Chains A and B, each alone.
Chain A
Amino acid sequence: MKADSGVDLGEHLSPERAAPRRRSPLSAFLSAVGAIVWKDLAAELRSRELLSAMLVFAILVIFIFNFALELDAKTRSNVTAGILWVTFAFAGSLGLNRSMAIEKDRGCIDGLLLAPVDRSAIYFGKTIGNLIFMLIVVAIVIPIYSILYNINLFNPGLLLVIFLGSIGFVTVGTLLASMAVQTRTRDILLPILLFPVEIPVFIAAVKASMGFLQGLEMSEIMPWINLLIVYDVVFTAVAFMLFDYVVEE
């Protein structure tokens, strides 16, 4: 059949190719998660909007703290954990806002919600993408911080704490960003919603980071690491259950 546009649809469309592939629900779920992560990374590789904003902001924060506080060596090791987590939290909230704004801009969030996949796959895809961006920022900020403050931050324990803290931050952050993006005041709303809920993560992450930097015994650090793990597990489960209700009108 020939359309007015000169396009012959009958010739071009073959339903067999469009038919759904037979696969298990788990495989469909993982494929959707993978597709969203790939899409976020590919889009960011082109635009570099999200990472550059997060990075510039994070580096500015550590520069400002460096020049504003003029710390001696002892005080420096005491405040390092706090400065690091303040930097990660603010840079992270910038990234979360931008990540969901991209979905909202051209109605792409509706495109995702129209896909016949479990909506938690969308949540996990976005969360993993946001975690990757957060960890890239961490990987660049840590060497810069080490040079500026003359502190060795390449401690496996500290890196584990940063990883667990980032998971907690992004897990809740992605859920709340999905809520905030539906409102007109999304830029202001996200930090207001996010930071109070993240207080346990910040306290546990700062205490555990400080413990590793000051060389405390593992027995003193472990409760804080356990708190981080529990927070990550609980809020991942909560977000998994709530995401469908958060995104639907």
Chain B
Amino acid sequence: MIHPDTNAPEVIGDTHPEVARAPAPPIVSPVISVTKLVKRFGLKTVLRGVNFKVDAGEFVALLGPNGAGKTTFLRILASLSRPAMGEVRVAGYRLPGQAAAVRRRLGVVSHLPLLYGDLTAEENLRFYGRMYGINAPRERVAEVLELVGLTPRRRDLVRTYSRGMQQRLAIGRAVLHDPEVMLFDEPHTGLDQDACVMLDSVMREVAARGRTVVMTSHDLSRAADLATRFDVLSRGVIVASVGRDEIEPDELLGFYRRSLKETGKGKSKTKEAKNES
């Protein structure tokens, strides 16, 4: 067990944030800090001691095969799931104890839009604006709709939107409260090429504004295009990590395959060793 004080993130700003409603939270580094994280669903262990750190302004692509635990990991970071063991800190706040403060600083986009089909785009954002208690909801909703290019259709019901438009509005919902940390869980799922390009440009812009981003993806080419670091999650542990400056974009597939293969070999070697003994 790691003592919280000894692992407290270094505060770069002037003051340590005291309350969740602090208007200008200081930048902490690392923004995300995960130590020996374990998550179980019944008898099944999904995450087996994940260690993960993300510095302010980094864009991390979390890669891995289906069932590796990527979504579970992101749900823990988003305070939607409780860890069984280990320490998780986001923006300097501990999870699950200080979940409300973490949620104030998080924006989450998943493959589901988290929007109400029977409300208009404007009504959806106003609703979330009230839930986040933002300062000037009317003006903020207008500017976010402008940002995601949905102003002309702001009064249409969300169920009449295409998948791409819904995903754009989902990004609008996620950035409505101007979060420090953005989590994208396979955001390109089900999107056509144009919508993917639009989504990429918005994600790039979010990162360019100094936001810390963690994205899970199966699409290595998009990850190579967007991220500054690539981590591979396999069988519930992070098996490899490489920075963008350490690898050429066209080498990412090879790196990914090697990482998975080595984990597989490592497993089989352990089994062989057990059998021999």
Contacts and interface: CB of A to CB of B under 8 A. Distances in A.
A107 B75 CA distance: 13
B106 A12 contact: no
Interface string A105-122: 111101111111110000
Given A7-B201, A118-B100, A13 B143 contact: yes
Interface centre among A31, A38, A115, A248 (most CB of B within 10 A): A115
A5 B202 contact: yes
Chain B interface SS verdict (over half)? mixed
A110 B170 CA distance: 12
A42 B118 CA distance: 8
B100 A116 contact: yes
Chain A interface SS verdict (over half)? helix
Contacts of B115: 106, 108, 111
A4 B199 CA distance: 10
Interface string B118-147: 110001000110111111100110011011
A245 B222 CA distance: 37
B127 A38 contact: yes
A24 to B, nearest CB: 10
Contacts of B96: 248
Interface of B: 20-21, 23-24, 41, 75, 78-82, 96, 100-101, 103-104, 106, 108, 110, 112-119, 123, 127-128, 130-136, 139-140, 143-144, 146-149, 157, 173, 175-178, 197-198, 200-202, 204-206, 208-209
Interface of A: 1, 3-5, 7, 9-10, 12-23, 28, 31-32, 34-36, 38-39, 42-44, 46-47, 102, 105-108, 110-118, 248-249
Given A14-B143, A107-B112, A249-B81, 9 more contacts: A1-B208, A4-B197, A9-B205, A102-B116, A108-B114, A114-B103, A115-B103, A249-B41, A249-B75
16 contacts: A3-B205, A7-B148, A14-B143, A20-B135, A22-B21, A22-B23, A43-B119, A106-B112, A107-B113, A108-B116, A112-B131, A114-B108, A115-B131, A116-B132, A248-B80, A249-B80
